[in-house]
Structure 1
């Protein structure tokens, strides 16, 4: 029997050198390559995840961070389901420029797109952006937040799980907005949504805060 194969389009945005290509290659191949050259234009990788009752294919679009490719990036964030907004925790400028990428998202991406702020290279000792600052930026931008290291394989699987949760949140009928609103009203808080996600999808998932943020921002 053929199982349903859903597509989840994911686009990375962020300055050149923040590690977008390494991250997507880590998700796709499970390996880290420090010799990656600068992305020219745009590239796409596919990662199929077997959830038992169905398959989910992540379309992972790797964009270039240079300004000369902004016009091309605009085309690829239309009809996107999830955007990974990536900065380098050792590079303050890459964090300062997040507003530029947010403006691009506001102008071109669907109004209901889910955005995740990703602080990359958390294995580095030359940190310039603290976790607390990253979380504050995420709260200001109204995004879930996670720090990762593609090199040391820190939280990469958790990030992929977060994207899968978001995919089902947006596509599966049981997570339509009216259902969630009714549940919140009956329960008096957003925790019923988190419990339902865990019960239905059985993810070994540690980001309760991020899940609650998804509930908050999907229903905004």
Structure 2
């Protein structure tokens, strides 16, 4: 459901954005910061990166529904001119389509119609991998989120509400910048894992049945009907 944040009271807006600014990404970031400070080994960092990435995907799903309305608010007022310039900078260099970005988050793979990421995260050297982790945990998104949380706790007032909304828009733009930065990176947390023999056997059998024309396939219309969706 889309919301018009410009009409919300302080309490309404604070309640609306709480799930977004409290998503698992931010707890994972704190753990990743601690691991980096401890000079933890790569295995530990890779394990936490998986949590971080899943948290990032969760944040993206929270925000993408509202992306157009938030961009409209930003473009409607000269007050947000600095943020408008940052959004424009993202849009100039952005390589992927909205559908492609969703596909990457759902399957860890880009659409074939989108440019392929050039950098495989798990193929980076230890120093390069650690440098990437440092970049991610120090992204401006996290400082922007801290400001939003601080303003949420302030005594409600007209000025305070506008400051909170402006801080959230800053947070949103930081997210867009992070999303654009990650376009060049290919990350599949399951890369290198092996399927159990029985699972691999079932997959091979399913592929063979499809190729032989003996598989019992279900149409997308039937799936939609089962789920109560319109197609």
**TM-score tier (shorter):** under 0.3
- Which structure shows the bigger proportion of residues in strand conformation? 1
Provide the TM-score with structure 2 as the length reference. 0.23
> Larger Cα Rg: Structure 1 or Structure 2?
2
- Which structure shows the bigger proportion of residues in helix conformation? 2
